């Protein structure tokens, strides 16, 4: 294998097909609030759990390197070689999110983003133009459908009014500024979605939600007949407009019941002729169901698997296992790279550099075994890192 193979691999720009806006906070972070960005743990002292994960230990070491380069100081390591979280967080807060993002995105060669604007909430999310400007990226937005519906409940006095509002928003999704949908049904009871529910059940579901809204409670679309019938309507629109639909699958939120978040539960949708115009992107490597996800993306013409090196929060070893399974099973034109970066530029960056190095080693091994040629390996990397998502999310339109 030529040395230039790894150089060429490094030079492929990244299109991150699943990420979120940075978060804007009124005051600087301390190490506790910083660490809480890198765990899905819930209840108890989550930052301690984060600090004890291999993911965070790696993140802190990588960030200490970059921060030392930026500041010219090497004071973030303790005598026994650990990274001092308080010092690290203070240093990165002094640099500031936007300048840090600029440097990290430059080093990682991240060019384009597909952004789910449903999280963080709008009052804490950065303006996307500011984010794109700071990171020198271009982007496409996705509409998180459950969150969008929750927002409509306040404006609708009846189920039929809700349908009208939803219809207006979805009849031309691109015209509203979105290039696809994102569903979190996997975190609201599971991925098995059927349009077959009685109107009575659905209207009852709406009335319960409206009651919650009127009494000032949090509006959370979790009633299954209502959720399933509404998101299915949205999927029909996406299909008619040939837009992709992302599904959160497996690890990604503490709300998930893993049993019901297995991607094989999506079979009905994948085989539904009414939805054949939409492509389905299965997020988070479908971890721990990455083999199931890889299989679905290998056999269905409309299924893609997301290869994420950011979230879930894994060690290099586990990410290698995931990448081996996915790249080893799914044709390369059905795999798309992501970080699931959110709130801070760190996850975008760590995912990018780890993803490049893991893919470099994996493909190098395939080349040295004579399994693929260098040209094949570069095509695989180009497709996964950039080209597939470029087409899928209409960057070429
Ligand atoms: Zn996400």
- The answer, yes or no, to whether residue 358 has pLDDT greater than 70, is yes
Give pLDDT tens digits for 323-355: 999 999 999 999 999 999 999 999 999 999 999
List the single range of 27-31, 72-76, 139-143, 208-212 with lowest mean pLDDT: 72-76
pLDDT at 87 over 70: yes
Name residues whose C-beta falls within 8 Å of residue 102's C-beta, 6 or more positions apart in sequence: 134, 135, 136
pLDDT at 201: 96
Cα(155) to ligand 1 centroid in Å equals 27
Domain 3-24+108-392 fold: TIM Barrel (3.20.20)
The alpha carbon of 340 and the centre of ligand 1 are apart by a number of angstroms equal to 5
Distance CA 318, CA 354 (A): 12
Interval 280-304: pLDDT, tens = 999 999 999 999 999 999 999 999 9
Separation of 302 CA from ligand 1 center, angstroms?
A: 21
The residue whose two tokens read 């108890």 is 44
Higher pLDDT, residue 185 or 111: 111
Identify the pLDDT of residue 252: 66
Ramachandran quadrant class, 246 (left: phi over 0; alpha: psi -120 to 50; beta: rest): beta
Q: How far apart are CA 394 and CA 397, in angstroms?
A: 5
What distance in Å separates the CA atoms of residue 350 and residue 56, rounded to the nearest whole number?
10
Burial class from Cβ neighbours inside 10 Å (0-12, 13-18, 19+) for residue 307 reads buried
* CA 20 to centroid of ligand 1, rounded, Å: 6
Q: Higher pLDDT residue, 61 or 41?
A: 61
Residue 61 CA to ligand 1 centre (angstroms):
24
Contacts of 385 (CB under 8 A, 6+ apart): 12, 13, 14, 15, 337, 355, 359
Instruction: Compute the distance from residue 268 Cα to the ligand 1 centre, in Å.
Output: 23
Q: Is the pLDDT of residue 76 over 90?
A: no
What is the mean pLDDT of the segment spanning 169-187?
95
Residue 346 · residue 352 · CB < 8 Å: no
3-state secondary structure the chain: CCHHHHHHHHHCCEEEEEECCEECCCCCCCHHHHHHHHCCCCCCCHHHHHHCCHHHHHHHHHHHHHHHHHHCCCCCECCCCCECHHHHHHHHHHHCHHHHHHHHHHHHCEEEEEEECCCCCHHHECCHHHHHHHHCCEEEEEEEHHHHHHHHHCCCCCHHHHHHHHHHHHCCCHHHCEEEEEECHHHCCCCCCCCCCCHHHHHHHHHHHHHHHHCCCCCCCCCHHHHHHHHHHHHHHHHHCCCCEEECCCCCCCCCCHHHHCHHHHHHHHCCHHHCCCCEEECHHHCCCHHHHHHHHHHCCCEEEEEECCCCCCCHHHHHHHHHHHHCCCCHHHEEEECCCCECHHHHHHHHHHHHHHHHHHHHHHHHCCCCCHHHHHHHHHHHHHHHHHHHCCCCC
Q: Are 56 and 89 a contacting pair, CB within 8 Å?
A: no
Over residues 116-132, the mean pLDDT reads 95
Residue pLDDT, tens place only, 255-284: 667 888 899 999 999 999 999 999 999 999
- Rounded to whole angstroms, how far apart are CA atoms 180 and 117? 12
What confidence tens digit (pLDDT) does each residue in 359-368 have? 999 999 999 9
Looking at the predicted structure, is the pLDDT value of residue 49 above 90? no
Three-state DSSP string of 298-311: HHCCCEEEEEECCC
User: Residue 48 has what pLDDT?
Assistant: 80
More confident position, 36 or 239:
239
Report residue 189's pLDDT band, with 50, 70 and 90 as the boundaries: confident
Cα–ligand 1 centroid distance for 348 (angstroms): 12
CA of 95 to the centre of ligand 1 (A): 26
For residue 251, report the distance from its CA to the centre of ligand 1, in Å: 10
Residue 270 Cα to ligand 1 midpoint, Å, equals 21
Scan for tokens 């060690």, then name that residue. 315
Task: Report the chain's mean pLDDT, rounded to a whole number.
Answer: 93
CA 180 to ligand 1 center in whole angstroms? 14
Residue 2 has pLDDT above 80, yes or no: no
353-358's contacts with Cβ under 8 Å and 24+ in sequence apart are 353/62, 353/107, 353/108, 354/58, 354/309, 354/316, 354/319, 355/14, 355/307, 355/309, 355/319, 355/385, 356/9, 356/10, 358/309, 358/316, 358/319, 358/320, 358/323
Task: Compute, in angstroms, the gap from residue 19 CA to the centroid of ligand 1.
Answer: 6
Question: Which tokens is 26 given?
Answer: 């009124």
Distance of CA 152 to the CA centre of its chain: 24
**Tens of pLDDT, residues 368-384:** 999 999 999 999 999 99
């Amino acid at each position: 294998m030529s040395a230039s193979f790894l150089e060429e691999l490094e030079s492929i720009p990244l299109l991150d097909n699943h990420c979120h806006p940075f978060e804007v906070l009124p005051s600087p972070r301390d190490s506790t609030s910083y660490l809480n960005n890198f765990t899905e743990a819930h209840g108890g002292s989550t930052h301690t759990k984060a600090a004890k994960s291999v993911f965070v230990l790696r993140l802190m070491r990588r960030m200490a390197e970059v921060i030392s380069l930026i500041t010219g100081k090497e004071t973030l390591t303790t005598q026994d070689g650990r990274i001092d979280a308080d010092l690290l967080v203070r240093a990165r807060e002094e640099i500031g999110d936007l300048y840090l993002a600029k440097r990290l995105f430059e080093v990682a060669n991240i060019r384009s983003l597909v952004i789910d604007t449903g999280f963080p909430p709008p009052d804490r999310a950065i303006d996307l133009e500011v984010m794109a400007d700071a990171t020198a990226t271009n982007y496409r937005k996705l509409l998180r459908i459950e969150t969008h519906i929750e927002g409509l409940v306040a404006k609708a006095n009846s189920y039929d009014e809700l349908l009208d509002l939803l219809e207006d928003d979805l009849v031309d999704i691109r015209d509203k500024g979105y290039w696809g949908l994102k569903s979190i049904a996997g975190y609201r009871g599971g991925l098995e979605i059927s349009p077959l529910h009685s109107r009575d059940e659905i209207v009852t579901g709406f009335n319960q939600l409206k009651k919650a809204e009127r009494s000032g409670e949090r509006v959370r679309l979790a009633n299954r007949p209502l959720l399933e019938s509404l998101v299915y309507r949205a999927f029909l629109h996406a299909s008619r407009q040939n837009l992709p639909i992302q599904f959160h699958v497996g690890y990604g939120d503490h709300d998930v019941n893993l049993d019901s978040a297995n991607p094989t539960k999506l079979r009905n949708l994948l085989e539904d002729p009414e939805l054949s115009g939409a492509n389905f992107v299965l997020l988070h490597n479908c971890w721990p169901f990455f083999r199931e996800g890889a299989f679905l993306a290998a056999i269905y013409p409309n299924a893609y698997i997301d290869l994420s090196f950011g979230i879930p929060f894994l060690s290099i070893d586990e990410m290698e296992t995931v990448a081996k399974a996915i790249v080893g099973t799914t044709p390369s034109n059905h795999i798309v790279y992501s970080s699931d970066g959110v709130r801070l530029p760190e996850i975008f960056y760590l995912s990018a550099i780890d993803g490049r190095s893991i893919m470099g080693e994996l493909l190098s091994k395939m080349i040295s075994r004579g399994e693929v040629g260098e040209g094949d390996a570069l095509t695989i990397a180009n497709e996964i890192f950039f080209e597939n998502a470029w087409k899928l999310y209409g960057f070429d339109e």
